[in-house]
A and B are shown apart, each in its own frame.
Chain A
Amino acid sequence: MTDPTSLSPLDLETPDKTFLDANELVINMGPQHPATHGVLRVILRLDGEKVMGLECVIGYLHRGVEKIAENRTYTMFNPYVDRMDYVAAVSNGLGYCEAVEKLLNVEAPPRAQYVRVILTELNRMASHQLWLGTHALDIGAITPLFYTFRDREEILKIFEKYCGARLTTHAFRIGGLQYETYDGFEKDVKTFVAFVRPKIDEYEELLTTNRIWLERTKGVGKISGKDAIALGVTGPVLRASGVKWDIRKALPYANYKNFDFDIPTGENGDTYDRYLVRMAEFRQSLRIIEQAVDHIPEGPIMAKVPKVIKPPVGEIYHSIEAPKGELGYFIVSDGSTQPYRIRVRPPSFVNLQALEVMCRGQLVADVIAVIGTLDIVLGEVDR
């Protein structure tokens, strides 16, 4: 593997002295700023418009999710994970449920697995749509936001019909699903797939070959695959740097190994590649959903899980490929009904570390673009 000491941009070299030897301008971007996606606070040291360095201040949305877990039973904690990455609540739930199932050594029945995959992939699309809208808005294109939200609405409608909630769904239970799918679920999903496929082309039409978009994103916020690995960056950000790493393929969970899909990767690791990778992931998600919805098996939706969940003493680490990257749950059980310790590996938090490497030497406007392209959710960063 990579030798961490040989990483060049990560060495915090002293930045150049400012132009005209003028004083550095220290700007406090956030926690209330339209483009920091919530309550991220970035302290920028500027030379005019050039970023000499930056520091992220986080914790404004800290709720102590991991500590709360220690005082809740395994079942009771399940809804809490939805509140971390609230735009991809289904993925969070999937990771947690699977981790506990692994600890209990049970497996969800196949029908539940298929429904889980469909919902998770729908959620991935919803998350990416939200990312695309806000990212484009940050760069100044205000229209894609409304297009993506229009289509995301359809996904949320399916969620609402399935489990009654739109955002914090609490869709899965430990051991499977609580609810059988509603009548017409398959039809809704198929309609949605047919509906959204041309819409993705519509987003791309507005942006992919737009000159200003190209100029704003190409070569901005570059990070090499080596650096990305060293920083622990995962998800589309890592894949855009040319590293073909997707947990759905590498450490298959749910029943992703049954589906045929590609891992889109980029080459340059810049903002434009990350955009392209995510746009390709839209289409891959559609592929997975189509395959899954065609082959949903009949059968039970809940495995045999005791009423009171008391996992055996032990610890488990389980990670899934959330829309933003590797979402891991490390659960330590002392044999009681409550977890002894839960540690979440949130993708946004780890990816945010790369912000400084990606922004140093760029302009203020690029910081905005890079924050957008990292696709962070502060609920997850701060937990």
Chain B
Amino acid sequence: MLHITTLHYLVLGAALFLLGVIGVLTRRNVVIVLMSIELILNAVNLNLVAFSRYWQGIHGPTALHGQVFAIFVITDAAAEAAVGLGILIAFFRNKETVNVDEVNLLKW
């Protein structure tokens, strides 16, 4: 059977990252765009944790910097989601739409 290596996790992370990027670039619905951003952040997290394990193999069990980073990224994601959804609500209140390409208030 195949052996699961760090590279496997990196490829999976890359795939998720790409999916997230496609979502951000193509979808109109802000909520789904925000979810795609979460997808990207998670792809990064997966890489970080995979690297952390890789690093542990070299520097011993206390080399957990990747996991600590992952925790910081999750914190960031929480803050981003709260602010993003706050903006979304403010936006929806003013424009009654949730489509990104209609966010053109600055064009007036």
A residues near B (Cβ < 8 Å) are 20-21
From 45 to 91 in chain B, residues with beta carbon under 8 angstroms from any chain A beta carbon are 89
Interface of B is mostly: helix
Per the bound structure, the CA–CA distance linking A21 and B89 in Å amounts to: 10
**A47: min CB distance to chain B, Å:** 14
Q: How far is the CB of A332 from chain B (nearest CB, A)?
A: 58
What class of interface size applies to chain B in its complex with A? under 10
- Who on chain B is nearest to A19 by CB? B93
User: Shortest CB–CB separation between residue A22 and chain B, in angstroms?
Assistant: 8
The closest CB in chain A to the CB of B89 belongs to A20
Segment 80-108 of B: residues with Cβ below 8 Å from A: 89, 92-93
Q: Which residue of A lies closest to B92 (CB)?
A: A20
User: Which residues from A are CB-within-8-Å of B89?
Assistant: 20
With A and B bound together, what is the CA distance between A10 and B92 in angstroms?
Answer: 34
4 tightest CB-CB pairs across the interface, nearest first?
A21-B93, A20-B93, A20-B89, A20-B92
CB proximity of A171 to chain B, nearest CB, Å: 62
Residues of A within 8 A of B93 (CB): 20-21
A21 proximity list for chain B (CB < 8 A): 93
Give the docked Cα–Cα distance between A229 and B103 (Å).
54
Q: List 4 A-B contacts (CB under 8 A).
A: A20-B89, A20-B92, A20-B93, A21-B93
Q: A21 to nearest B CB, angstroms? A: 5
**In the bound complex, how far is the Cα of B93 from the Cα of A264, in angstroms?**
51
Complex-state Cα separation, A62 to B89, whole angstroms: 47
Cα distance, A20 to B85, chains bound together (Å) = 13
Give every chain A residue within 8 A of B92 (Cβ-Cβ): 20
A97 to B92, CA, bound (A): 64
* Chain B nearest CB, measured from A215 CB (Å): 30
Closest B residue to A22 by CB, please name it: B93
Bound CA span A20–B93, Å: 6
CB distance from A205 to the nearest CB of B (A): 46
Shortest Cβ gap from A19 to chain B (Å) = 10
User: Roughly how many angstroms separate A20 CA and B89 CA in the complex, as a whole number?
Assistant: 8
CB distance from B44 to the nearest CB of A (A): 33
Residues of B within 8 A of A20 (CB): 89, 92-93
In the assembled complex, the Cα of A21 lies from the Cα of B96 at a distance in Å of 10
A20–B92 Cα distance when bound, in Å, is 9
- Measured between alpha carbons, how far is A21 from B92 in the docked complex, in Å? 9
Bound-complex Cα distance A20 to B91 (A):
10
Tell me the smallest distance from the CB of B33 to a CB of chain A, in Å.
20
Residue on B nearest A23 in the bound complex, by CB: B96
Q: Within the complex, what minimum Cβ distance (angstroms) separates A329 from chain B?
A: 55
What distance in Å separates the Cβ of A16 from its nearest Cβ neighbour in chain B?
Answer: 15
| Assembled-state Cα–Cα distance A321/B67 (Å) | 76
Say how far A351's CB is from chain B's closest CB, in angstroms: 40
Residue of A nearest to B94 (CB): A21
> In the assembly, what is the distance between CA of A21 and CA of B95, in Å?
11
User: How far apart are the CA atoms of A20 and B90 in the complex, in Å?
Assistant: 8
Shortest Cβ distance from B53 into chain A, in angstroms?
A: 45
Q: How far is the CB of A17 from chain B (nearest CB, A)?
A: 11
A74 to chain B, nearest CB (A): 64
Distance between A368 CB and nearest chain B CB, rounded to angstroms: 30
Taking the nearest CB of chain B, how far is it from the CB of A273, in angstroms? 40
Minimum CB–CB distance from B21 to chain A (whole Å) comes to 31
Bound CA–CA A328/B106 (angstroms) = 68
| Closest beta carbon of chain B to A163's beta carbon, Å | 64
A139–B98 Cα distance when bound, in Å, is 39
